[in-house]
Amino acid sequence: MGLGRDVGRRATSYVFVSFLLLILGFGMGFISCLHTKTSAPDDVRKLKLQVPGDAPTEVRREVLTALRVFQDGYIRRDPKNIEAFAERTIARNDDVLLLGTDTGEWVRGYPAVADFIKRDWLGWGDFRFDVDDSIVSSSGNVAWITSIGLVHFKTLDRPVRFSAVLTKEKSAWMFQQIHFQWDDKDPSSADLLRPRTYLTLPKLTLQRILKRHG
């Protein structure tokens, strides 16, 4: 009887430890996936902005002014200012469209887009993009831009691609479409099976700490 109970306890312990290791493995895999996403170096990404676009000089100047207003809103992140910000930047119609980085973030219409941006300011990371080097092209009263940037979170930075379509209304360029897209990729399944993937986590964490406090 005693031997049977000992065997039962060992079996139960074995199952429990195996379950914990499985959960730990999945957890480490998720963390590694998040922290070992790869992207091109910043200098390589900036090379994509070398061609400025075909917008005339005056149009480019005016569009960059609109981009600076948009960027300033994301820097200040003041939800009390959302109405004034939206009136200065977002086309006031039902066709204005915003596509976010996550699946399902497809928002249409002036009120919904303004509300989405407000929630960005309250809950997303610190979004900064390369305003002055943005690619700006245009045709008549329509302009389209492409740029690169970063979203700064507490524990990591993620690169993004930022693009938009603007239309000129009276004397101002207003955003008609806005598109945020992550510019990195997950490690492959083979990477998650390599021990070195997990060994890089302390190194990456230390680098980010030094970057933030350096």
Q: Tell me: the pLDDT tens digits for 191-211?
A: 455 555 555 555 445 544 544
pLDDT of res. 142: 98
Please state, rounded to an integer, the average pLDDT across all residues of the chain: 82
85 Cβ neighbours under 8 A, 6+ residues apart: 69, 73, 114, 117
Q: Which of 20-24, 136-140, 176-180 has the lowest mean pLDDT?
A: 20-24
Q: How far apart are CA 21 and CA 16, in angstroms?
A: 9
pLDDT of res. 36: 52
pLDDT of res. 43: 81
pLDDT grade, residue 32 (50/70/90)? very low
Q: Which of 36-50, 61-75, 88-102 has the lowest mean pLDDT?
A: 36-50
Asked whether the whole model's pTM tops 0.85, one would answer no
Q: Tell me: the pLDDT tens digits for 107-151?
A: 999 999 999 999 999 999 999 999 999 999 999 999 999 999 999
